Amino acid sequence: MKVLVTGGLGFIGSHTVVELQNKGFEVVIIDDCSNSDENVLYGIKAITGKKPLFEKLDLKEKHKVEDFFQRYQDVAGVIHFAASKAVGESVEKPLLYYENNIGTLVYILKELCRKNKASFIFSSSCTVYGQADKMPITEDAPVKVAESPYGNTKQMGEEIIADTCKVTPSLNAIALRYFNPMGAHPSGEIGELPIGVPQNLVPFITQTGIGLRDQLSVFGDDYPTPDGTCIRDYIYVVDLAKAHVVALERLMNGKNESNFEVFNVGTGTGSSVLEAIKSFEKVSGRKLNYKIVDRRPGDITSAYADTTKANKVLGWKAEYTLEEAMNYAWIWEQKIRD
Ligand code: WQD
């Protein structure tokens, strides 16, 4: 079975390619390398023994997308990661985000609608829930007004897929709503490669730990949580990658109940910023230099998943703890700074 993975050189994409190849899928990657490195292909090969097919291609160029699907008529499934993902940048450059994240989604769906049968997995986000009223968050929690153009592209993306599936019975899709992905492959061959100053907590922690950053700013300790810092559901990237494979298999085997389904992908456990720091200190044996500063605008207090639906329906469950994932994030950080 040939599977197209867009954004397959990125953080979550590359780990998913590994899991797909481990399961015997033949993978072709499309990536424009705007936020990734072609050498990731060698990391994937080192782990799986196989270098996936790769096309450096910008999905905004509609005729190139059409041409790709002409040449690869045997693509039976698509896992669509390619997207811009910096929340702050999306506020500054909304049209860039709508073009990158929505335009490209439309072009791919158009091609899939031409097929007799197609499976499509979409990278969505827990950001669609905003600050949910109840914890843990179930899939039927209301989708709140998006806080940023980035968040909006995930909400709109889901709506575009739902509308398309309604009128296209041959198209089967699943949106996976990720909580906070983190970590790196246990082999140390692939991991997160943030460009510039990391926006996310875990790469900022490991970069501070290794001395690349002076200090971690903890954004607020006056939230209504047990230790005052925000709570998130940190999901190990290999667990997350495996969720994509089981979701794709569900569609390919015709096990889905409707042709558009949505699943939360998290651990079900919330951890605070201070707990994440403690877990780093434990696995690294180093003290982390951090300082409590003001809240970051737009941050929600708490978000963690109810994973019952994914557990029961997909038969998928996160296997790794925050500490294990942090350990792999730390091994990776040390390796790339060598
Ligand atoms: C985590 C916690 C910060 C950095 C992002 C995306 C969102 C989603 C998940 C993808 C928060 C605190 C962080 C730092 C800190 N998924 N923090 N100091 O904000 O939950 O969400 O990932 O689509 O869309 O925005 O993740 O890693 O930025 O923050 O104190 O230097 O760490 O306040 O509580 P977030 P994050």
Ligand 1 centre to CA of 94 (Å) is: 20
pLDDT of residue 192: 96
Nearest-atom index, ligand 1, CA of 151: 24
Name the residue among 3, 2, 64 with its Cα closest to residue 32. 64
Does ligand 1 lie within 6 Å of residue 124's CB atom? Answer: no
pLDDT of residue 169: 98
Q: Is the pLDDT confidence value at 312 over 90?
A: yes
Does ligand 1 lie within 6 Å of residue 296's CB atom? Answer: yes
pLDDT of residue 24: 97
Phi and psi angles of residue 14, each rounded to the nearest 5 degrees, phi first: -65, -40
Confidence of residue 269 (pLDDT cuts 50, 70, 90): very high
Decide if 198 is inside a domain.
no
Mean pLDDT rounded to a whole number for the chain: 97
Q: Given the DSSP bridges, would you call strands 118-125 and 171-178 parallel, antiparallel or unpaired?
A: parallel
Decide if 15 is inside a domain.
yes
Tokens 């867009």 locate to 6
- On the question of a cis peptide bond just before residue 149, with omega within 30 degrees of 0, the verdict is no
- Residue numbers annotated as active site: 150
Confidence of residue 217 (pLDDT cuts 50, 70, 90): very high
DSSP state of 144: P
Decide if 220 is inside a domain.
no
State how far the Cα of 254 lies from the Cα of 136, in Å rounded to an integer.
29
Residues 205/277, Cβ–Cβ less than 8 Å: yes
Does ligand 1 lie within 6 Å of residue 265's CB atom? Answer: no
99-115: pLDDT as tens digits: 999 999 999 999 999 99
pLDDT of residue 125: 98
44-55: pLDDT as tens digits: 999 999 999 999
199-216: pLDDT as tens digits: 999 999 999 999 999 999
Decide if 277 is inside a domain.
no
pLDDT of residue 338: 79
DSSP 27-62: EEEEE--SSS-TTHHHHHHHHHS-PPEEEE--TT-H
Identify the domain containing residue 29 by its residue range. 2-182+235-265
Testing ligand 1's pocket by substitution, the residue of 81, 296, 301, 302 carrying the most ligand atoms inside 8 A of its CB is 296
Does ligand 1 lie within 6 Å of residue 207's CB atom? Answer: no
pLDDT of residue 103: 98
| Segment 70-92 mean pLDDT | 96
Domain count, the chain: 1
Decide if 154 is inside a domain.
yes
Confidence of residue 282 (pLDDT cuts 50, 70, 90): very high
Task: Tell whether pTM > 0.75.
Answer: yes
Residues 294/230, Cβ–Cβ less than 8 Å: no
Testing ligand 1's pocket by substitution, the residue of 200, 222, 275 carrying the most ligand atoms inside 8 A of its CB is 200
Ligand 1 centre to CA of 19 (Å) is: 26
Q: CB under 8 Å to 232, separation ≥6 — which residues?
A: 179, 180, 201, 270, 271, 302, 303, 304
State how far the Cα of 324 lies from the Cα of 44, in Å rounded to an integer.
21
| Segment 24-34 mean pLDDT | 98
Domain CATH number, residue 122: 3.40.50.720
**Tokens representing residue 141 in the block:** 């929690």
Decide if 151 is inside a domain.
yes
Ligand 1 centre to CA of 337 (Å) is: 23
Confidence of residue 42 (pLDDT cuts 50, 70, 90): very high
Confidence of residue 1 (pLDDT cuts 50, 70, 90): confident
Decide if 276 is inside a domain.
no
Does ligand 1 lie within 6 Å of residue 320's CB atom? Answer: no
Decide if 272 is inside a domain.
no
